Amino acid sequence: MTTFFDAQETRSAAEREAALLAALPRQVGHAQQSSPAFAGILAGVDAAGVTSRAALARLPVTRKYELLERQQAQRASNVFGGFSALGFGAGMPRVFASPGTIYEPEGTRPDYWRMARAIYAAGFRRGELIHNSFSYHFVPAGSMMETGAHALGCTVFAGGTGQTEQQVQAMAELRPAGYIGTPSFLKIIVEKAAELGVPLPTVTKALVSGEAFPPSLRDWFAERGIAGYQCYATADLGLIAYETSAREGLVLDEGVIVEIVRPGTGDPVPEGEVGELVVTTLNPDYPLIRFGTGDLSAVLPGTCPTGRTNTRIKGWMGRADQTTKVRGMFVHPGQIATIARRFPQVLRARLVVSGEMANDQMVLQVETTETAEGLARQLGDAIREVTKLRGDVQMVAPGTLPNDGKVIEDARSYQ
């Protein structure tokens, strides 16, 4: 039994980067030609010149709310808002809807969402039966996992959600090798089985996703003989990263280019700093270029002890959209980035909103080595110009601000 899904997982970092960057200009060009949305977003971009991460970082970030806005604006003529390279018919067997409602296409390529790699890392192997309790209704989660399992050579029981007692009965009678679904529903199923006195001896592994999977819950499953692993995927992008037996962060998938940027911007942050995950997928059917997930994470140093050589991330660390309403006005992370960019002396910036309801106070904390009074005054003027609100300025030493990805901290009391 091999340790790895394929040889891509153990490529040298240089070999992987060369392959990704060779594919990047082709994908950018394909998006311009095949996706009306990206034809506009990337207008004027020389695709052949996008051969480095620095060049990629100069392209605009497209965030999820923009998918929704374009889909809503073009629904009568293009339900996908011009982002899909596919149209209805034989090349698109299914279409799904995720919260928003945002519509996503599914193409015909095997393992369309690239989930087989994560399923393999969770311990599943060819010839096994998997109990899939992700939803098959509206959202792509059920199909994402099923097509990955099929690519791995597994049979799937389409359990879906709800009907806990019937889920227990099916597990007891079909004796699957493991479970795929949300961790909370697996806990409900295991507890119901115990309540009914029904043993589930074959369910010894699980791949979970869709919600937080804290170590306490992982240990709860382990105490009951179930080795649970998590993966990070979205309806737009498919698999982004997955957990291994090392239990040290999540390893990036081989079919995506991942950047971590300062929230509200498209600017990559230094390795180890928390920021928003921005993903470029190499999927030709739905060629998302620099897609902002809205999720926070950070790169871990080194490689996975299992021998997988791709970059690791810490996993989900919160949401990047920190838009906050202050004195009736919305303040966005992008506005804080705009202010900081005007001053080369500012290394990092963080807006802290405090006070009680109807008595909001804003303080812009900036990391800088300059202590001249004139800088604080200029920053104050910039706050008022950009946000249309007054705010104080606090200058702090480099390295003082927390590494938590927050650009706006809402510290108000609502009691």
Q: What is the SS3 assignment for 96?
A: strand
Structure tokens at 72: 């809503």
Mean pLDDT for all residues in the chain: 93
Structure tokens at 365: 């904390």
State residue 330's pLDDT score. 77
Q: Please check whether residues 287 and 340 belong to one and the same domain.
A: no
Indicate which CATH number applies to the domain containing 274.
Answer: 3.40.50.12780
Total domain count, the chain: 2
Question: Is position 21 within any domain?
Answer: yes
Q: Please check whether residues 332 and 246 belong to one and the same domain.
A: no
State the virtual CA torsion across 35, 136, 213, 172 in degrees, nearest 10: -150
State residue 291's pLDDT score. 96
Q: Please check whether residues 307 and 385 belong to one and the same domain.
A: no
Q: Please check whether residues 287 and 397 belong to one and the same domain.
A: no
Query: 279, 313, 347: which is the final residue of a domain?
Result: 313
- On the question of pLDDT at 173 being above 60, the answer is yes
Answer for the pair 5, 115: CB distance below 8 angstroms, yes or no.
no
- On the question of pLDDT at 110 being above 90, the answer is yes
Structure tokens at 202: 């074959």
Cα 112 from Cα 148, distance rounded (Å): 8
Burial classification of residue 127, based on how many CB atoms lie within 10 Å of its CB (0-12 exposed, 13-18 middle, 19 or more buried): exposed
State residue 356's pLDDT score. 67
Query: 282, 313, 344: which is the final residue of a domain?
Result: 313
Looking at 127-286, which runs of residues are DSSP E strands?
Answer: 129-132, 155-158, 178-181, 205-208, 227-234, 238-243, 250-252, 256-261, 275-281
Q: Please check whether residues 355 and 219 belong to one and the same domain.
A: no
Cα 83 from Cα 69, distance rounded (Å): 12
Question: Is position 341 within any domain?
Answer: yes
H helix count then E strand count, the chain: 11, 21
- On the question of pLDDT at 415 being above 70, the answer is no
Of the candidates 193, 207, 200, the one whose C-alpha atom is nearest the C-alpha of residue 156 is 207
Query: 270, 289, 313: which is the final residue of a domain?
Result: 313
Q: Please check whether residues 288 and 307 belong to one and the same domain.
A: yes
- On the question of pLDDT at 321 being above 80, the answer is no
| Cα-based distances in Å from 162 to 134, 156, 186 | 10, 17, 11
Q: Please check whether residues 81 and 33 belong to one and the same domain.
A: yes
- On the question of pLDDT at 63 being above 60, the answer is yes
Question: Is position 358 within any domain?
Answer: yes
Cα 342 from Cα 382, distance rounded (Å): 9
* 277-309 exposure pattern, b = at least 16 Cβ within 10 A, e = fewer: bbbbbbbbbbbbbbbbbbbbbbbbeebbebebb
Of the candidates 216, 149, 158, the one whose C-alpha atom is nearest the C-alpha of residue 187 is 216
Question: Is position 319 within any domain?
Answer: no
Q: Please check whether residues 194 and 297 belong to one and the same domain.
A: yes
Q: Please check whether residues 208 and 356 belong to one and the same domain.
A: no
Domain range enclosing 377? 324-410
Q: Please check whether residues 353 and 280 belong to one and the same domain.
A: no
- The predicted-structure confidence for 246-300, as pLDDT tens digits, reads as follows 999 999 999 999 999 998 889 999 999 999 999 999 999 999 999 999 899 999 9
Angle between helix axes 164-174 and 183-196 (nearest 10 degrees) is 80
- On the question of pLDDT at 414 being above 70, the answer is no
Those residues whose C-beta lies under 8 Å from the C-beta of residue 235, and which sit 6 or more positions away, are: 96, 98, 102, 104, 139, 140, 141, 144
Q: Please check whether residues 11 and 106 belong to one and the same domain.
A: yes
State residue 181's pLDDT score. 96
Residue 58, phi then psi, degrees to nearest 5: -85, -10
Question: Is position 415 within any domain?
Answer: no
Q: Please check whether residues 203 and 306 belong to one and the same domain.
A: yes
Indicate which CATH number applies to the domain containing 383.
Answer: 3.30.300.30
